[in-house]
Amino acid sequence: MKSSFKWMLASLAIVAGWCLSLGATAWAGSPEGMRLYVFSSGWLNIDKSALQTGAAPGRIQIPVAFFLIKHPKGNVLFDTGNNDRIITDPTYWGPMAASLDPGRSPDVAIDVQLEKAGFKPSDINYVILGHMHLDHAGNVGKFPNATIVVQRDEITNAFWPPPGYAGPYITSDFAMLRSGLGESMPNKYKVIELNGDLDLFGDGSVYIHRSVGHTPGSEMVVVRLPKTGPVVLTSDACYLMENLTKNLLPSVGLAYDPAGLLRGYAWIKHMRDVEGADVIFAHDPETFKAHKHSPEYYE
């Protein structure tokens, strides 16, 4: 009796260990065939102290990540990078062009990059916007067939931000989302206006998490892949891995709600520690380099 009890405990321990290790590497509830592609819309050369208060002055070169999630119920973009107009028209960003010194070449255009992975802009069913700054909502207008998924607070903030926060919003990036004169319905595109979280397909595989901090309507996404497991895509809710580990905030103009940013960091850490989630920041050069890039993908 005693030895069979011991055997039962040992078996339970083995099963529990197996479940834990499985949890970090796979997500059984997500549909087969799901994929996550990682892209960069060129790069920016920015002073590190903008991304991290107290950092020594000096520019660093950072990626401008955006993502494509292939799911049986639809293809989803998370963020859309820099507006492709800057490739041919350096004045499009006005004074922001000098402060961000963007890298531009024809091969970073979003349609060129999507095509290399086998997708046309018309194949995109949803565009989730982490927020609407120039390096995230830049190409939203290239997807008129898609449903835009964005926090209502971000839409109102992008069109008319409070003093001190207007610089990174280029209104012509997203003016096309608004209906024409005399229309009582404001949205010209299909838009899901959120004031909170959304489980996009109802199966937990693409979960949008509202995270007010960097901007009034920032949101992150956790993608739960059948083989890779959960991956958190931060947009600008956290800039660098070092910001996350040391709880460092960006400069004032990029921290609309500092306490909210720290709440967002805590959520990322929770996802990492409890679900074993990988984290891909939009602008961290080291962690970006360490990931697979399109046309390779995660399953």
Span of 132-140, 258-266, 268-276, 287-295 interacting with Zn ion by CB under 5 A: 132-140
Nearer to Zn ion, 79 or 278 (CB): 79
The CB-of-97 to Zn ion minimum distance in angstroms stands at 16
* Six-digit token string for 81: 């990078």
Decide: is 153 part of the binding site for Zn ion (CB under 5 A): no
E-state strands within 30-161: 35-47, 59-71, 74-78, 126-128, 147-151
Nearer to Zn ion, 153 or 236 (CB): 236
Please list, residue by residue across 28-59, b when 16 or more beta carbons sit within 10 angstroms of its beta carbon and e when fewer do. Answer: eebeeebbbbbbbbbbbebbbebbbeebeeee
Whether the bond into 295 is cis, omega within 30 of 0: yes
Nearer to Zn ion, 82 or 228 (CB): 82
Decide: is 133 part of the binding site for Zn ion (CB under 5 A): yes
The CB-of-231 to Zn ion minimum distance in angstroms stands at 20
Decide: is 154 part of the binding site for Zn ion (CB under 5 A): no
* Six-digit token string for 171: 């209104």
The CB-of-16 to Zn ion minimum distance in angstroms stands at 41
Decide: is 219 part of the binding site for Zn ion (CB under 5 A): no
Select from 79, 236, 278, 284 the one that contacts Zn ion (CB under 5 A): 236
The CB-of-167 to Zn ion minimum distance in angstroms stands at 10
List the Cα angle 192/206/39 in 5-degree steps. 95
Nearer to Zn ion, 46 or 222 (CB): 46
Residue 70: φ, ψ to 5°: -95, 125
Which of positions 175-214 make contact with Zn ion (CB under 5 A)?
Answer: none
Long-range CB pairs of 159-165, under 8 A, 24+ apart, other chains included: 164/252, 164/253, 165/215, 165/253, 165/256
Number of residues that bind Zn ion (CB under 5 A): 2
173 contacts 39 by C-beta, under 8 angstroms: no
Residues in touch with Zn ion (CB under 5 A): 133, 236
